[in-house]
Amino acid sequence: MEFGPYCPTRSTPPRSESQHSNRLDPFNHRLAPRRASAKKPARFHPATSRESWPRRRPGGASLPAGGDGDGNQTIELGTAGMPPAAEPRVVRRQRGEMRTIWENDTPRPDEPLWRYLRPNRFLEALQSRMLHSPSARQFDDPFEGAVAVQPADWPVDARYGAVEPFDRAFEQLRRLTKISSWHRVDYETAAMWKLYALEGKGVAVRTTAERLGAALRPYRLAPEHGAEEPYWGSIHYVDLFTQRLRAGIEERFFVKHRAFEWEREFRVAISLRMADEFAVEIPELGIDVPFDPETLIEALYVGPAVPATERVQLAATLEAAGLGRQFTTSTLVGRPRYT
């Protein structure tokens, strides 16, 4: 019988690194040759078990090889059309801290992050202490995950010769990847109020990268399963009309068409790929991640179009939750002066 991170019990201990003549490359899904240098201790964790348990390829697709020789994959996005100085390099970090998808774009601890919500969704999150993260398939954005934008009047796109393995695997990952989106700016934004908060009738949570990382609690598909590992990073915007994107299968969730650059999006993602490989049932839609509202909420802005009666009710709700000091009103409620 085979045991793994998604089995309720384990009668045998995980196999040590010395018991393998080869090991799985955790990001290429292939056997990587072992170096002749001194061995490092196996990095086994019950949530991922990447060093100990064999896995099948998602969707039957084998992924391209590449790595630094130590089981970690490094991916350059130079073919995406970015200038050399701005090319992000992906580095896998040790467990115990939030994994950052881009090495040269780590958020500052005090960097402001915003999330605009409808009032009912905010109240549900506050009462349940659960932060909803939808599946990547749920986004109402036809460009989500695109590798290029084809001109509308072109019958044939010469950039496509055949479907690549990454393309097949990525479609499977859209269902398995759950994403929480944030707005990475210093100040509230009128456009975000209109698009994501019922044209100003919602609320906006302001936090920081440090607060967000500290507020998120371990997420498990079931109590007996290991915790899933989140990772985060800013969206990198590329002109997909002139370039075809070639990026790692995880990094494609952090690259978008340049036409959306005004969004300045920051994402926290959880991939349930490992659970799917162990035949664990995966929610088709989003997941609810436990969080600590007291840690997360630095300030709660009430939208400029919220009626006065609802504003009072929201203030009372926050006061009852011990968050009365975080309550504030949008600056767009202010009265403009012209002289």
Parallel, antiparallel, or unpaired: how do β-strands 230-234 and 177-183 relate? unpaired
Q: What is the pLDDT of residues 47-85, one digit of tens each?
A: 443 333 333 333 433 333 334 333 333 334 443 334 333
**Amino acid 293: pLDDT:** 94
Neighbouring-strand partners of residue 182: 266
Q: Torsion-angle region of residue 111: left (phi > 0), alpha (psi -120 to 50) or beta?
A: beta
Q: What's the Rg (C-alpha) of the chain?
A: 22
Q: Whole-angstrom Cα distance, residue 5 to residue 156?
A: 46
**Amino acid 288: pLDDT:** 95
Give the distance between the most distant pair of CA atoms in the chain. 80
**Amino acid 248: pLDDT:** 79
Backbone angles phi, psi at 151, to 5 degrees: -55, 140
Tokens describing residue 207: 């936090």
Residues 6+ apart with CB under 8 A from 231: 98, 99, 100, 101, 250, 268, 269, 271
Q: What is the pLDDT of residues 161-173, one digit of tens each?
A: 565 666 677 778 8
**Amino acid 11: pLDDT:** 39
Name residues of the chain where pLDDT drops below 70. Answer: 1-96, 154-167
Domain extents in the chain: 52-331
